[in-house]
Structure 1
Amino acid sequence: MLCESNKELQQLVDEARDYAKQGKVADYIPALAKNNRDELSAAIQYPDGRCISAGDVHEKITLQSISKIISLALVLIDHGEDAVFRKVGMEPTGDPFNSIAKLEAMSEVKPLNPMINAGALAVTHLIKGNDVEDRFSRLLNFSRKISGNSNVHYSEEVAESEMETSHLNRSLCYFLKQHKIIDENVEELMELYTKQCAIEMTCFDLARVGLVFALNGRDPETGDQIIPKEIARICKTFMVTCGMYNEAGEFAIKIGIPAKSGVSGGILGAVPGKYGIGISGPSLNEKGNSIAGLKLLELLSTRYSLSIF
């Protein structure tokens, strides 16, 4: 399926791109430091198969934290709500995505939600399989299914770069293991998690995933229920309350759609019943969100009244 360049969307992308100068790329992951700060691309997929785009939407980016919503959907399918939410909570946090502070202060040690790193590690721990390779294969195949792209793979360079530098995530793993939230080898979980974060998609793929969530888990081409409706609803709710790190409240007020960001500069958006949005803009604000991508979504939401509130 081709994604047609759209003049109106291109104008909005050009307007938002100026904001990229105010941010910087995620250089704490060495492989991501190579990204072009000024790049901004977007794709929008509709239920009828139409797709419009602006910029190089077929350039691949790693999912990073966007993968958290995909792994959550898979694990909920695997285990059900009760088992998953015994390990991780449902509440937003005002802390940074990689913070350990709330864990230390809680009377019951459990990550507040699946969108912060501690919660995502607890979720990834629950992916079924015999070993790291088997578990990652299941996640990758699920990612291919919901993106409609059998060629989706992962970046070995980015995965290795994160594996070498993710000292804080290792600390979170050991903390979770101490409190029996996880019970596996930390290095094996780290290998699985870094590969998960390094899964690569284009803006077109991201928009397609967003559309599946927008359609309550239904495949827009075949009509198959890829994700059970209730699980799609839970995932969209987390995208609204926790999807944009500790900027979720402001995002809900200014833009107001289910969305998930990643420190590669990607944003996945799901406008319920209408369309999926995929954005790539590597320049980040201080919260870790694409600064130009946020502006683009704000422009889109204002012009087309996208907010669900």
Structure 2
Amino acid sequence: MKLSPQTIQAAVDAAHSSSAPNIGGANANYIPYLASVPSELFGVAVMTPDGRLYKAGDTDYAFAIESISKVFTLALVTELIGSEAVRQKVGTTPTGLPFNSVMALELHNGKPLSPLVNAGAIAIVSLVSGVSADACWAKILDMQSRFAGRPIALSDEINQSEQTTNFHNRAIGWLLCSAGTCYSDPMRAVDVYTRQCSTLVTTTDLAVMGATLAGGGVNPVTRLSVVAAANIPHLLSEMTMEGLYTASGDWAYQVGLPGKSGVGGGILAVAPGKLAIAAFSPPLDLVGNSVRGQAAVAYIAKALGLNLFGS
């Protein structure tokens, strides 16, 4: 079905207006910065692979990318070492446990299983080559910027807030090291992983980043190839399996699109070849996904008939 600009904008507007009254959920409070973000903020954006943008609400507010960053570092490492090496070293299977689970590691002899949980994401960062943490970080930041089509910046305030509270991730780093599944100094990997979660993006940025995935790896704004088209199915499959933490199965069942959320309140979904949907709203459900964001993305996916499992 050909989607007209008017149809897409109408869906975005309706998704925003219908989801805005939902006051459920609460900001993440274990990272001090996130607890301070105004909970009433709410933005929704859609971008197509040809660069057309449709938006409503607070789409220019910059927020912490958090776990959505895992997708773009995974893209970088897949480009560097190949999808099969990623599968062998990190894994491609949902853990069935919370995103920061230590038990998941212990149950599988220290193999993370998924690059979209914290353990797997730290292992992925450890596979980014570089003579120093800063050299490794520069590659990751460059990849985020290439996906967004503009320079993305680290927030020193967010990074400081996270670096001083990331004790659990440090423990995961040492567990990976002890199992031989961390491929650099573990504290370097955790440091860089924390930085990648501490950059600032807008809802519009997320829509551009998602549209790059929807468009076969070509950025819709710069028209530059960011990631090989052959790697896109692997990235989207990971998002389908583990992108919304332990709610990923329900998301696939109800919405039918690869997605990724972050505890900063962002959420991204990709309809391959068609468009990307991004939303931002800080209050999260008990799993860690934006309440309004999920509702808005689901509304648009249904209104535009985007469910990949539909006929």
Give the TM-score range, shorter chain: over 0.9
1:31 CA drift (Å): 0.9
TM-score (norm 2): 0.93
Residue of structure 1 equivalent to 2:121: 120
Structure 1 counterpart of 2:170: 170
- Percent identity between the aligned chains? 33
Q: Which moved more, 1:281-290 or 1:224-233?
A: 224-233
* Offset, 1:7: 5.8
**Paired position in structure 2 for 1:136:** 137
**CA apart distance, 1:223:** 4.4
Check the 8 A contact 2:27/2:35 in 1, yes or no: yes
- State the partner residue of 1:198: 198
| C-alpha distance after superposition, 1:127-155 (max 9, x if no partner) | 121111111111111111111112x1111
Corresponding position: 1:297 with 2:297? yes
Within-5 A mapping of 1:127-276: 127-150=128-151, 152-221=152-221, 223-276=223-276
SS at match of 1:276: strand
Q: Following the alignment from structure 1 to structure 2, what is the Cα–Cα distance between the partners of residues 128 and 186? A: 14
Shift of 1:6: 4.9
Q: Deviations over 1:96-126 (max 9, x none)?
A: 10111121122x4311110110000000111
- Over residues 182-211 of structure 1, what are the superposed CA-to-partner deviations in whole Å (9 max), with x where a residue is unaligned? 153333222211110011111111000100
SS of the counterpart of 2:168? helix
Deviation of 1:174 (Å): 0.7
2:65 maps to what in 1?
63
* 2:32 match: 30
Matching residue of 1:17: 20
Q: Secondary structure at the match of 1:18?
A: coil
Any stretches of 5+ residues in structure 2 without a counterpart?
1-5
- Determine if contact 1:66/1:267 at 8 Å carries over to the other structure: yes
Instruction: Give me the CA root mean square deviation.
Output: 1.7
SS for the counterpart of 2:256 is coil
Query: Equivalents in 2 of 1:109, 1:50: separation in Å?
Result: 44
Is the 2:173–2:187 Cα contact (8 Å) retained in structure 1? no
For 1:14 and 1:256, how far apart are their aligned partners in 2?
22
TM-score by length of 1: 0.93
Q: Distance in 2 between matches of 1:295 and 1:174?
A: 37
Aligned length: 303
Distance 2:302 2:45 in 1: 17
Contact preservation (8 Å) 2:217, 2:229? yes
Deviation, 1:95, is 0.7
| 2:100 paired residue number | 98
Deviation beyond 6 Å, 4+ runs, structure 1: none
Q: Are 2:127 and 2:183, in contact at CA under 8 Å, matched by a contact in 1?
A: no
